[in-house]
Amino acid sequence: MALIWVLAALMLAAARWIDPPTTAVHIQRRLQAWIHHTPYRERYKFIPLGQISPDLQHSVIAAEDARFYQHHGFDWHQIQIAAEEDLQGGRTRGASTITQQLVKNLFFGTSRSFLRKGAEFTLVPVAEFVLGKRRMLEIYLNVVEWGPGIYGAESACHYYDGTAARNLGRQQAARLAAILPAPLKRRPERMNNYSELILERMRQMGW
């Protein structure tokens, strides 16, 4: 286990300069398609952050991790709120940060276990230290799953909106961000209510 952690930490350090060729989620989906004998086509193109619409960057932050630029990997404020909601009878929001989701995407896939959470907990500070916020956001927006076989902003924008990520408008960006919690089940055109909430959060954040 220690060796695996060291390798993951080294891979995070390398990711400061080298774009990830694949992730644990990408590999997991390929294996699932092979096991179940289902068609699978992967769309994945890594592009610089400067080629991703600021509206899409801001929409994803507003939807997934509003305190991304304030915390150091864990949003203890949101963790406290989530814990209180659990005690009151049901959670209405998640508490995972973009940093946590990036580590999970890169190394652990979508599986849930205490062992995975423990490893994730120790790798998140490493990601914050070696990558920095801008590079983490760049990698996350490029590797995150946006639908069946669709990974990253460029592929998602071409697939759903027929345009490059640099050209995405505010409304389109909010709808794309709205499907991230459940990209295999949601479609942007059905996310009007949640996308309006994301747009309101963006306005409150000065975007």
d(CA 124, CA 185): 28
User: What digits encode the pLDDT tens for the residues 42-74?
Assistant: 999 999 999 999 999 999 999 999 999 999 988
The string of pLDDT tens digits covering residues 13-27 is: 999 999 999 999 999
> 147 has which bridge partners?
150
Under DSSP, the state recorded for 66 is T
CB atoms within 10 A of CB 83: 12
Q: Region 153-162: what's the mean pLDDT?
A: 98
The pLDDT, as a whole number, for residue 86 is 54
Maximum distance among all alpha carbons in the chain?
47
Distance between CA atoms of residues 175 and 115, nearest Å: 34
The Cα 4–Cα 18 span in angstroms is 19
Q: Kindly state the DSSP code that residue 152 receives in the 8-state scheme.
A: S
Average pLDDT of the chain to the nearest whole number: 91
The pLDDT value recorded for residue 98 is 97
What tens digit of pLDDT does each residue of 86-118 get? 555 554 456 789 999 999 999 999 887 777 778
Residue bearing the bigger pLDDT, 50 or 79: 50
Question: Cβ(74)–Cβ(97) under 8 Å?
Answer: yes
Give the separation between CA 197 and CA 174, rounded to whole angstroms: 9
Write down all domains in the chain, each with its CATH number in brackets: 25-204 (1.10.3810.10)
132-147 pLDDT per residue, tens? 999 999 999 999 999 9
Backbone φ/ψ region at 109: left (φ over 0), alpha (ψ -120 to 50), beta: left
Rounded CA-CA distance 165/133 in Å is 20
In this model, does residue 41 exceed pLDDT 70?
Answer: yes
Question: The tokens of 79 are what?
Answer: 């963790």
Q: What is the pLDDT of residues 171-186, one digit of tens each?
A: 999 999 999 999 999 9
Q: Is residue 1's pLDDT more than 80? A: no
Return the ∠ at Cα 44 (arms to 43 and 45), rounded to 5°: 130
Query: Poorest-confidence range of 116-130, 137-151, 155-169?
Result: 116-130
Residue type, 72: H
* Residue 91 pLDDT: 43
- pLDDT at residue 184, rounded to an integer: 95
